[in-house]
């Protein structure tokens, strides 16, 4: 395995038969599905479906996150050779993971986008499969949460971000990447009492009852204390994990639309995600990767790692059920 396979493997996104296992094709060539998983719309026997949502028409500053799914997939080509580091199991070998492709939508019919995305995710959930979405701007979490709410009831939200995204906005038809969790709480999709926001470092006077662990608390108290607090709040409630890449400091993730200084370091995010193993996670997303501002590709690399860690969290929970 490994060297010999590397000589012969190419375009594993289309040519691989087994939905499990590693891939050894050259990182710099071939079709760039996420982690070289098979591109397919057939969810038979699948555990986790990766899906891209190339939408950025809800942003307040810099556009470009519509190109995020493509960049995250390309960056993930560095990862499928070995088991993900820091875990006591290999999610790539244990779980059937596929790349479900991108959401199809009419970019000129923005008002139709939310229902289109909700139905897309419902199709995955109705097949008994967990979704991991590659954004796209952060608004995409709102239609996704609706699909999860309709399946599981009110969700606990585990939200990594520089911004709370709970600014008041009672116009439920308005599409904005800074108000969607206010709406999700108001509509009952999210239970604020069992939800946590991590890495926050912008002002919002109303947390709507969501527990906040700001970036400074993580820096000064440590990742272990933050994880202990997160787990205590989430309990064993069905949880949706959303990770805005601007939770990381701009030094680690410059390619994003609304960067804020003082954020999490990559190692802090990695440590927390790994130590959260066992939470009752049902799905997740990684959002706000904006390739036009990602001069070295570091932001997309971070996004690919976050998506992989979400898959590991899902796999860890599946081992318990």
Asked whether the whole model's pTM tops 0.85, one would answer yes
Compute CA 195 distance to the chain's CA centroid, rounded to the nearest angstrom.
16
Angstrom distance (rounded) from CA 302 to CA 245 = 8
Residues annotated in the binding site, as ranges?
A: 138, 161, 163, 165, 244, 246
> Which segments are annotated as binding site for Mn(2+)?
138, 161, 163, 165, 244, 246
220 lies in a domain?
no
Domain at 245, CATH number: 3.40.800.10
pLDDT per residue over 52-104, tens digit each? 999 999 999 999 999 999 999 999 999 999 999 999 999 999 999 999 999 99
Report the pLDDT value the prediction gives residue 1, as an integer from 0 to 100: 58
Proportion of the chain above pLDDT 90, given as a percent: 96
pLDDT band at 260 (very low <50, low <70, confident <90, very high): very high
Whole-number pLDDT of residue 79: 97
Q: Name which of 217, 180, 225, 177 is nearest 200 in CA terms.
A: 217
pLDDT tens per residue, range 100-134: 999 999 999 999 999 999 999 999 999 999 999 99
Count of the separate structural domains present in the chain: 1
Host domain of residue 30: 3-152+239-320
Nearest CA among 194, 158, 165 for reference residue 182: 165
Q: What's the chain's average pLDDT?
A: 97
- Residue 34 domain-assigned (yes or no): yes
**Residue 178 falls within a domain, yes or no?**
no
Q: Mean pLDDT across the stretch 26-42?
A: 96
pLDDT of amino acid 321: 79
Distances in Å between the Cα of 159 and the Cα atoms of 80, 87, 318 are 26, 22, 21
Judge whether 186 lies within some domain.
Answer: no
What percent of the chain shows pLDDT beyond 70? 99
Question: 157 lies in a domain?
Answer: no
pLDDT for 225 equals: 98
């Amino acid at each position: 395995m490994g060297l010999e396979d590397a000589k012969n493997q190419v375009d594993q996104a289309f040519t691989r038969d087994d939905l499990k296992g590693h891939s050894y094709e050259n990182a710099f060539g071939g079709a760039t599905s996420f982690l070289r998983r098979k591109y397919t719309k057939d969810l038979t026997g699948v555990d986790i479906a990766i899906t891209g949502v190339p939408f950025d028409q809800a942003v307040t500053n810099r556009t470009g996150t519509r190109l995020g799914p493509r960049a995250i997939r390309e960056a993930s080509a560095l990862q499928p050779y070995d088991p993900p580091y820091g875990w006591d199991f290999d999610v790539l070998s244990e779980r059937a993971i596929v790349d479900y492709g991108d959401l199809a939508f009419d970019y000129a019919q923005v008002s139709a986008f939310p229902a289109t995305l909700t139905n897309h995710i419902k199709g995955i959930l109705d097949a008994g499969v967990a979704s991991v979405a590659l954004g796209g701007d952060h608004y995409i979490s709102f239609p996704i949460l609706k699909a999860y709410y309709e399946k599981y009831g009110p969700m606990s939200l585990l939200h990594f971000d520089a911004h709370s995204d709970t600014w008041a906005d009672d116009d439920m038809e308005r599409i904005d990447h800074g108000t969607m969790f206010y709406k999700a709480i108001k509509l009952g999709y999210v239970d604020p009492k069992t939800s946590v926001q991590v890495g926050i470092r912008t002002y919002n006077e109303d947390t709507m009852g969501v527990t906040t662990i700001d970036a400074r608390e993580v820096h000064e108290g440590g990742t272990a204390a933050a994880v202990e607090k997160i787990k205590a709040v989430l309990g064993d409630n069905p949880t949706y994990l959303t990770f805005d890449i601007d939770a990381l400091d701009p030094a680690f993730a410059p390619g994003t639309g609304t960067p804020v200084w003082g954020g999490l370091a990559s190692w802090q995010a990695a440590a927390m995600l790994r130590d959260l193993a066992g939470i009752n996670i049902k799905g997740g997303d990684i959002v706000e990767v904006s390739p036009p501002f990602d001069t070295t590709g570091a932001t997309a690399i971070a996004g690919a790692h976050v998506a992989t860690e979400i898959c590991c969290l899902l796999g860890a929970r599946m081992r318990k059920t």
